Amino acid sequence: MSLFMLDYCKAVDRQVWPHQHPLRQFDRDLSAEILRKLEERGADLDHLMEMEEKDIGALIRYAPGGRLVKQYLGYFPSLQLSATVSPITRTVLKVDLVITPTFIWKDRFHGTAQRWWILVE
């Protein structure tokens, strides 16, 4: 039940249902046809980010759309994390965390700030 509620909250917040492609958040800039083809072909974000523009264009059967999709993929927040853990005492650890953004910041999409949660287990 809690997973369902989390998915529902994310859907309301991002205005995209879980079965829709995440690029639907940019439906003002990407055509409905491009988004429909991405959903039909089941192309996930990680796979698309690894692809070249021409390969994305071939996937959606619209060559100019490959460049546009690749551009908007760069706006998805993604981070590179590097952690170093060292013991201080038997029950206390020191954690050094380096967080590097690997996306293009655009105020239009991200606002002036982004909030992040860091959970240490």
Range of the domain at 83: 79-109
Q: Give how many domains the chain has, as a whole number.
A: 2
| pLDDT the model gives residue 87 | 95
- Which of 76, 75, 68 has the alpha carbon at shortest distance from 35? 68
Q: How far apart are CA 115 and CA 10, in angstroms?
A: 14
- Residue 11 covered by a domain: yes
- Residue 88 covered by a domain: yes
User: Cβ–Cβ contacts within 10 Å for residue 76, how many?
Assistant: 17
- Residue 52 covered by a domain: yes
| pLDDT the model gives residue 14 | 63
Q: Show pLDDT as tens, one digit a residue, over the chain (121 residues).
A: 777 777 777 777 666 767 777 888 888 889 989 999 998 988 888 899 999 999 999 999 998 999 999 999 999 888 999 999 999 999 999 999 999 999 999 898 888 988 888 888 8
- Residue 118 covered by a domain: no
Q: Burial level of 56, CB count in 10 A (0-12/13-18/19+)?
A: buried
Predicted TM-score of the model (pTM): 0.74
| pLDDT the model gives residue 72 | 93
**If you compute the radius of gyration of the chain from its CA atoms, what whole number of angstroms results?**
18
* CATH number of residue 42's parent domain: 1.10.150
- Residue 120 covered by a domain: no
Q: Quick one: 63 and 14 in the same domain?
A: yes
Q: Quick one: 54 and 83 in the same domain?
A: no
Q: Quick one: 43 and 83 in the same domain?
A: no
